[in-house]
Structure 1
Amino acid sequence: MSTGGDGAAGAAEDEQLSLLRAVVRGRRPAPAEGAAEVDPVAGVVLDVPLPHLDRVLDYTVPASMAATAVPGVRVRARLAGAEVEGFVVDRRPSSDHEGRLQPLRKVVSPEPVLDPAVLALARAVARRWAGTTADVLRLAVPPRRAAVEVEERPGPPAGPVAAPAPGPWAQYAGGSALVARLLAGGSPRAVWTALPGAPPDDWAGALAVLAAATLAGGRGALLVVPDRRDVARVDAALTALLGAGRHVRLSADDGPTPRYRAYTALRRGRVRVVVGTRAAALAPVADLGLVVCWDDGDDSHVEPRAPYPHARDVLVERADLVGAAAVVGSPARTAAAQQLVATGWARPVVAAREVVRARAPRTAVAEDDGRDPAGPGARLPASALRLVRESLLAGPVLVQVPRAGYLPATACQRCRHPARCPRCSGPLALPAAGGADVAAAPVCRWCATTAPAWACRHCGGRALRALVVGSGRTAEELGRALPGTTVRRSGGADAVIDDVPAAPALVVATPGAEPVAAGGYAAALLLDTWALLTRADLRSAEEALRRWLSAASLVRPAGEGGRVLAVGEAGLAPLQALVRWDPAGHAERELVERVELGLPPAVTAVRVAGPAAGVRALLEAARLPPSTGVLGPVPAQGRRWATGGPVALRTDGSAPADDAPGAQQVLLRVPSADARALADALRAARAVTSARKEPAVRVQVDPLDPLEGW
């Protein structure tokens, strides 16, 4: 173990400061308190993000804290002249440090909030993503709420949980067997392709059955979903199946006090089932028997703070660590999920083709005629308008538009060059009605500057045309084309609608903000498919298909008249997969292509970005595996500052390491078998460069888009 704080020198300095303060205040210094008689040494993990301090530090336990400074509690301890909060991880009779240890300063709370299993997981996650244990614990343990710790909370209802029927799982090959194995205490691993069609919350009920089967088998269950709407759906399904009081929800959207209350209920073992967003992947579930990640392709599963883990991969790591069952489910299938199947780690759980055909809406592709979208009435092909008119007679119609806003991207009407802000060169948008009329002042999407006197820097033209049409303009055009029709908007600057009634109406939504319609939508129209497919992103094809399938899954089955029409180029592979409703086949082809190209998830990629001196120092200090391929360094062109846009600042007002002008980035790639070796090498190098006070850099293992900026 390592010495606590500054060691003997620090302890002596502490005593001198105490004496000095006592003299200044005219008081006698309090005598030094003796150490605890039993296990007087505490190992502490401090909340310090510095990589070279990512270790357990030893402190003396004062006698007054002997009963409260137990493993798992929050404490304060001295480090480099300041008091820092941390967690006690063990108590021991002695330390291997030669010298005098500093005493703990304070037990913040006698509530043990850090579970040993969570600590082990935090260390595994820190190693897997080349981060620090303190960073992971900051994600895992919510801030303290003292009032919650003294609340009297009732336990779960008495009596065992009844074994659930397979329910929706009977529709899938291997579904009933999955439920049976969970009931028997087994640990199956599955990649589940959920069926489309009404009822739209069928997936939430299916997850509730898995949780109930695990709980009936005597173990706990952990369900991770992308956002608050999904949490609410699974929460309702769990309550309906298990009854009130047998589970908790763990989401930042609920607020700090409810979140801490749910966390303490789990830590105390009062409940053993939890549904939540990405941070719930680290929740302290007792006797964990099942982990579930729903819709793993959703960007919300990626933690934006260091060490940037993906909830799916954290759950995979956790399942391996404790021997739990694991299910990765979605209407679509990502290449990463397909990798789990291809390596044999998981088995696919899918429905037979005849069942898929019975549940899916009738899907077709309408070729876009390429007319100017700024022209009046030219937004939709005739077949799309005909579908909308016919389907409105049977119920609500969903219209998915890739972009929010009115006209989020514009160009010069005369020369077609993109319109740029005269102040920061950001893209100009028209935020409200006015169309291409120059009287409608464009606004910069980066600096929010209004440019009423805009003129094209290339030809001097002043008229604008649309490059991209947003959900606001789409709703306006559809309202004009279908007078008297109710038009609702969801997503973007508008409030996200959770559900809509079965009455006829047009619902214009951005991807991910589609409301659930009572009884399912009569039809869905997927506009501007090119906008999703042409994104500069490694995952553009799989992400486009995921968003289309998620929207189409809300439509009634074909037998009930449900129809889906995508406007785009019919020959493209993602659109063909949509028409055939074959996400598994598309994922297989994606994975094969990535294996051939040496791209994730076939390999492990790490992006190192920051000041050029910091990147160079880290690479020089790292003992990279021989199989490592190094691309770069190149300028960090994926950041907004490189194109004249604003820089997102830290809370202290300084620029992030990889957003400062002159920043560079390097991409490291290794075969999956050497992923651990690469992460270990980078962790060790970060500790060295941190101790040397080299410029800090950002290290991201398996980022969503490893080729960003290339």
Structure 2
Amino acid sequence: MWDLPKPAPARGTRAASPRKGQRRPAEADPVARVIVDVPLAHLDRTFDYQVPQELDAVAVPGCRVRVRFAGQLVDGFLLERGSTTEHTGRLAFLERVTSSERVLPPRLAALCRTVAERYGGTLIDVLRLALPPRHAKTEAEPPREPAPAPGEPDLAGWRPYPWGPGFADALRAGRPAHGVWQALPGEDWPRRLAELAATVAAQGRGSVLVVPDHRDVARLRAACAELAGEDAVVALSADLGPAERYRRWLAVLRGAVRIVVGTRAAMFAPVADPGLFVVWDDGDDLHVDPHMPYPQVRDVLVLRAHADKASFLAAGHARTAEAQLLLESGWAHPIVAARDELRARAPRVTPTGEDFDVARDEAARAARLPAVAFEAARASLGAGAPVLVQVPRRGYVPGLACGQCRTPARCRRCAGPLMLPSGGEAGVPHCRWCGVAEAAFRCPACGSARLRAVVVGAKRTAEELGRAFPGTTVRTSGGGEVLASVPARPALVVATPGAEPVAEAGYGAALLLDGWALLGRQDLRAGEEALRRWLTAAALVRPARDGGRVVVGAEAAIPVVQALVRWDPGWHAEVELAERRELGFPPAVRMASIEGSPDAVAELLDEISLPPSAEVLGPVPVGEVDDEGRADRERALVRVPRADGRALAAAAHAVSARRSSDKAAAPVRIQLDPLELI
């Protein structure tokens, strides 16, 4: 925490006067307005400095500078220059210009300020997410030559979607269009998105395409490079080194490339003359940045599309409630294929526990891998195709409970959850938090010494399938060992959600195990997330006419399973949004989560100036509580109608600034529209 004095009410920073004749201000626009890199909410404004004559030529708006602030040398960004100042005292001079590169152009600065205001954060927090660290050697390299404009690609792949050709025509004509695309099963979605990006690039405009992980980045970048050329596209992701990441980012900033593909950091890519913003699979939690102020890719790209009068596309196999809200508001239009086209491409989906299966197999309701799943797997392997097996968790047995009363098994030392990392059922349980072995477990509720698995992990599942299908290759994908693709030959591929490899010619079958573990989570988005994960896996399976089969471990009466069987995520999104409206949860409302110690939360709720429409829920304990019902941390939720979302964000920023100025000892975490509410 910075220990800085309160700044003066007027804009500017006092400093000792330079010796007479030492430094002189620039003749034109001698005042520089600087945002300093100090992580304090009450300093979220510009400060005025003098531009010395020797730095007049290099102190350009958008450059990095070093200034003296409260007796310390700190980094900053020069936002603009002017001829007047509101500060009544003497202004300090800029110490130096770190780089004359305009890394913060006006459009990017305005976007970062808008994002900060939407989430109740500070501008410098957003700038840290938007701008990569400087690499001086890379910056001194000769600039990259601009890539030539590609030719317009063939857009025949969009004809199965009635609204698809119209969206493509709008891109070709330079008109802003907003859509929510539901990709067909087995669709070559990287190719479709690359066609849109190449169409925009052919008009001389730029595109930003954001996907959840590096595997999607590789596929999408390859498709864009095939259509637009290697020099017309760059990939931005976290796994790049500092030099290469800065090199590619500079190529985008300087207008050398028109197509940017990347993970969530690419949502701020400063592409020149943007014409299209795309987010693939916007419900993936990887699209939410874990750093303050926790922006979400979809929301940031919507803001960019609105500010730049550009097109926007939320794409995926599933549909979120937030995307449904864009449709129901009229801001976006659905791009969905006709039902006959969908039926021709979709695999056959079979829930476990159907009446016919139960009549034939009494244990079908309770079995983890019932007879229908074995039959689907054997048929696929017999046809020479791989089988995808999706399990909710990686590891061996990542969760344990008492075998008699089902009370979660916890460590006696730190109360952490017990797990079996490897070695089979006879292995010794270990604490997931402190790592201490628990060889003599006794349930505190009933005294039983027996343990059972709460969720069986991918490695344990692979062992079970290896015994059930002897002689068949079993591969796992998840955690630090994620497969990009698998060949078109018989194999069992056990993968966790999001780590499913692409199979050549598609999978013959997919087994979606432990559906109850996804549907039973204490999470507002449990149903939506389960359907998203299931559709992502099922979309990799061959069509039903080619023998494609999906077996899901859940009963058909559940609405989420019905949406999967009918392959109708739009219907489920409508129902989900209607229920959230009735209950008063995002995205039907704007909500803020306030989490901290009980005293800090109570103090903040007393200080914050909420709009009259605000409703406070809680506070409630978070995590473990002692015998007297007290907890170290509490959380309160504040919700307002969407029309008062800006007022809620402003109130959150104002109270954070007040606490920062008063040097409040107990930290409080404020997050707007949190992904997990329960």
Shift of 1:559: 1.7
Shift of 1:256: 1.8
Shift of 1:270: 1.2
Counterpart of 2:175 in structure 1 is 186
Shift of 1:32: 2.7
Shift of 1:297: 0.3
Deviations 1:521-558 (A, max 9, x none): 11100001010001110000000000000000001111
Counterpart of 2:57 in structure 1 is 67
Shift of 1:620: 3.2
Shift of 1:8: 8.9
Give secondary structure in 1 for the equivalent of 2:219: helix
Deviations 1:151-173 (A, max 9, x none): 12432343x32122213211111
Deviations 1:177-212 (A, max 9, x none): 111110110100001101112x5xx11111111111
- Distance in 2 (alpha carbons) for counterparts of 1:453 and 1:5: 64
Structure 2 residue 431 is the aligned partner of structure 1 residue 449: no
Deviations 1:487-529 (A, max 9, x none): 000113x501111111110000010110001111111000010
- Distance in 1 (alpha carbons) for counterparts of 2:12 and 2:235: 46
Counterpart of 1:161 in structure 2 is 150
Structure 2 residue 344 is the aligned partner of structure 1 residue 343: no
Give secondary structure in 2 for the equivalent of 1:392: helix
Decide which of 439, 450, 472 is 2:459's aligned counterpart.
Answer: 472
- Distance in 1 (alpha carbons) for counterparts of 2:529 and 2:194: 26
- Distance in 2 (alpha carbons) for counterparts of 1:643 and 1:396: 50
Counterpart of 1:703 in structure 2 is 674
Q: Closer, same or farther in 2 for the Cα pair 1:8/1:478, shift >3 Å?
A: closer
Matching residue's letter, 1:387: A
Counterpart of 1:528 in structure 2 is 514
Counterpart of 2:31 in structure 1 is 41
Shift of 1:262: 1.3
- Distance in 1 (alpha carbons) for counterparts of 2:557 and 2:123: 48
- Distance in 2 (alpha carbons) for counterparts of 1:171 and 1:453: 61
**Native 8 Å contact 1:167 1:209 kept in 2:** no
Decide which of 110, 121, 145 is 1:131's aligned counterpart.
Answer: 121
Shift of 1:665: 1.9
- Distance in 2 (alpha carbons) for counterparts of 1:34 and 1:208: 53
Deviations 1:307-363 (A, max 9, x none): 011110011111111111100011000001000001111000000001111111111
- Distance in 2 (alpha carbons) for counterparts of 1:661 and 1:113: 45
Shift of 1:379: 4.0
Give secondary structure in 1 for the equivalent of 2:231: coil
Deviations 1:386-409 (A, max 9, x none): 111111122100000011111112
Decide which of 353, 362, 376 is 1:367's aligned counterpart.
Answer: 353
**Native 8 Å contact 1:167 1:206 kept in 2:** no
Structure 2 residue 397 is the aligned partner of structure 1 residue 411: no
Counterpart of 2:3 in structure 1 is none
Decide which of 91, 111, 127 is 1:101's aligned counterpart.
Answer: 91
Shift of 1:106: 1.6
Give secondary structure in 1 for the equivalent of 2:230: coil
- Distance in 2 (alpha carbons) for counterparts of 1:43 and 1:333: 43
- Distance in 2 (alpha carbons) for counterparts of 1:8 and 1:312: 36
- Distance in 1 (alpha carbons) for counterparts of 2:46 and 2:14: 17
Q: Closer, same or farther in 2 for the Cα pair 1:115/1:502, shift >3 Å?
A: same
Matching residue's letter, 2:372: S
Counterpart of 1:177 in structure 2 is 166
Matching residue's letter, 2:336: V
**Native 8 Å contact 1:491 1:509 kept in 2:** yes
Counterpart of 1:115 in structure 2 is 105
Structure 2 residue 391 is the aligned partner of structure 1 residue 401: yes
Aligned residues: 663
**Native 8 Å contact 1:4 1:58 kept in 2:** no
Counterpart of 1:305 in structure 2 is 291
Decide which of 468, 472, 489 is 1:481's aligned counterpart.
Answer: 468
Counterpart of 1:663 in structure 2 is 633
**Native 8 Å contact 2:11 2:85 kept in 1:** no
Decide which of 534, 553, 559 is 1:548's aligned counterpart.
Answer: 534
> Normalization by structure 1: what TM-score?
0.90
Q: Closer, same or farther in 2 for the Cα pair 1:419/1:40, shift >3 Å?
A: same
After TM superposition, the structure 1 = structure 2 runs for residues 137-536 of structure 1, keeping only pairs within 5 Å, are 137-158=127-148, 160-197=149-186, 202-367=188-353, 379-394=368-383, 395-435=385-425, 437=426, 440-492=427-479, 494-536=480-522
- Distance in 2 (alpha carbons) for counterparts of 1:693 and 1:131: 17
- Distance in 2 (alpha carbons) for counterparts of 1:414 and 1:618: 44
**Native 8 Å contact 1:5 1:102 kept in 2:** no
Once structures 1 and 2 are overlaid, which stretch shifts more, 412-421 or 169-178? Answer: 412-421
Decide which of 635, 658, 662 is 1:688's aligned counterpart.
Answer: 658
Once structures 1 and 2 are overlaid, which stretch shifts more, 47-56 or 501-510? Answer: 47-56
> Normalization by structure 2: what TM-score?
0.94
What's the RMSD between the two structures over aligned residues?
Answer: 2.3
Structure 2 residue 569 is the aligned partner of structure 1 residue 583: yes
Counterpart of 1:58 in structure 2 is 48
- Distance in 1 (alpha carbons) for counterparts of 2:290 and 2:140: 33
- Distance in 1 (alpha carbons) for counterparts of 2:353 and 2:32: 69
- Distance in 1 (alpha carbons) for counterparts of 2:484 and 2:587: 33
Shift of 1:569: 1.4
- Distance in 1 (alpha carbons) for counterparts of 2:207 and 2:135: 25
- Distance in 2 (alpha carbons) for counterparts of 1:371 and 1:461: 29
Q: Which runs of 5+ in 2 are unaligned?
A: 1-5
- Distance in 2 (alpha carbons) for counterparts of 1:546 and 1:223: 20
- Distance in 2 (alpha carbons) for counterparts of 1:519 and 1:409: 35
Shift of 1:6: 10
Matching residue's letter, 2:431: C
**Native 8 Å contact 2:12 2:48 kept in 1:** no
Shift of 1:372: 10
Matching residue's letter, 1:619: L
Decide which of 670, 675, 690 is 2:645's aligned counterpart.
Answer: 675
Once structures 1 and 2 are overlaid, which stretch shifts more, 143-152 or 411-420? Answer: 411-420
- Distance in 2 (alpha carbons) for counterparts of 1:144 and 1:36: 27
Give secondary structure in 1 for the equivalent of 2:257: coil
- Distance in 2 (alpha carbons) for counterparts of 1:213 and 1:433: 54
**Native 8 Å contact 2:458 2:494 kept in 1:** yes
Give secondary structure in 1 for the equivalent of 2:611: coil
Q: Closer, same or farther in 2 for the Cα pair 1:104/1:392, shift >3 Å?
A: same
**Native 8 Å contact 1:433 1:473 kept in 2:** no
Counterpart of 2:71 in structure 1 is 81
Q: Closer, same or farther in 2 for the Cα pair 1:8/1:45, shift >3 Å?
A: closer
Shift of 1:661: 6.2
Matching residue's letter, 2:173: A
- Distance in 1 (alpha carbons) for counterparts of 2:314 and 2:83: 44
Shift of 1:643: 8.7
**Native 8 Å contact 1:412 1:456 kept in 2:** yes
- Distance in 1 (alpha carbons) for counterparts of 2:266 and 2:625: 36
